[in-house]
C-alpha cells in the first residue's frame, strides 16, 4: 500500500461546478498535511496547508480527518484557471514530505 494515495483522475468538470478530491495516508503518526497545485510542465506550488479544524481560502476548502486518515480539498465555482494537477502531501514524523500521485482537474467552458 502506498503511503499517500489520491483519487485517480482525470476529473473533467464544467465551469462553475463544485469538485472534491480525496487523499488517504497510511501512517497514523503523520504530522502535517498540504495540498499543492502543479500546472503542466511547472513546479508544484503550495495551495494550502490543512489544519485539524479545517480551513478555507476563498473558493477552496481543505479538511483533515485523522480518525479515518484522509484529507480532502473542495473547490467551489470552478474556473478555467483551476485546471491543473492537485497533489496532496503528508509530512511524516521524520520530517519527510510524501506526495500522492496527483489528481488532474480539467475545467471546461
- Tell me the C-alpha distance between 4 and 82, whole Å: 23
> How many residues in the shown chain lie near another protein by CB under 8 A?
19
Which among 26, 30, 20 is positioned nearest to 5, based on CA atoms?
26
- Tell me the C-alpha distance between 30 and 39, whole Å: 27
Nearer to another protein, 49 or 55 (CB): 49
Nearer to another protein, 76 or 106 (CB): 106
- Tell me the C-alpha distance between 106 and 23, whole Å: 18
Kindly state the smallest distance separating residue 77's Cβ from another protein, in Å: 27
Nearer to another protein, 44 or 61 (CB): 44
Binding site for another protein (CB under 8 A): 4, 41-46, 49, 87, 89, 94-102
Amino acid at each position: 500500500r502506498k503511503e499517500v494515495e489520491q483519487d485517480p483522475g482525470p476529473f473533467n468538470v464544467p465551469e462553475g461546478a463544485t469538485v472534491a478530491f480525496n487523499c488517504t495516508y497510511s501512517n497514523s503518526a503523520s504530522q502535517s498535511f498540504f495540498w499543492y497545485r502543479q500546472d503542466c510542465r511547472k513546479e508544484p506550488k503550495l495551495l494550502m496547508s490543512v489544519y485539524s479544524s479545517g480551513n478555507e481560502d476563498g473558493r477552496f476548502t481543505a479538511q483533515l480527518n485523522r480518525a479515518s486518515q484522509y484529507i480532502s480539498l473542495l473547490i467551489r465555482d470552478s474556473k478555467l484557471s483551476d485546471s491543473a494537477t492537485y497533489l496532496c502531501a503528508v509530512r511524516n514524523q521524520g520530517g519527510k514530505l510524501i506526495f500522492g500521485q496527483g489528481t488532474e482537474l480539467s475545467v471546461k467552458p
